[in-house]
Amino acid sequence: MIIGTFTKKNQSYTGKLVTLTHCQAVTFQPAEKGVDYRVLIGDVEVGAAWKRTAKKTGEAYLSVKLDSPFLPAPVNCALIEQKDSGFILVWNRDEPKHD
């Protein structure tokens, strides 16, 4: 499910995160230590992102973890480049674990 659209300028990504209850401007800003990017809404850090490469296709993407006191649990996403339309933030619900 696509939950955001982004553009890249210099080393940062900017765009909108859209859910059923929120629409927020979000920035992926390069980090100096630890993670590759800090995910920000305004000046507030709401997540982190790491550079990854897809095993099957070799395509580069960002593995994103969003977290907030307003979320019941962290959300894992991927920021993926589209051939002709910038970048999309994709979220997939984890499959339930069967015993």
Residue 99 lies in a domain: no
Kindly state whether residue 86 falls inside one of the protein's structural domains: yes
Tokens of 23: 């629409």
Query: What are the residue ranges in the chain where pLDDT is below 70?
Result: 94-99
Q: Domain of 73?
A: 2-91
For residue 72, give the DSSP letter.
Answer: S
Q: For the chain, what is the domain count? A: 1
The predicted pLDDT at position 94 comes to 67
Query: Residue 97 domain-assigned?
Result: no
Tokens of 83: 């051939």
User: To the nearest whole percent, how much of the chain has pLDDT over 90?
Assistant: 66
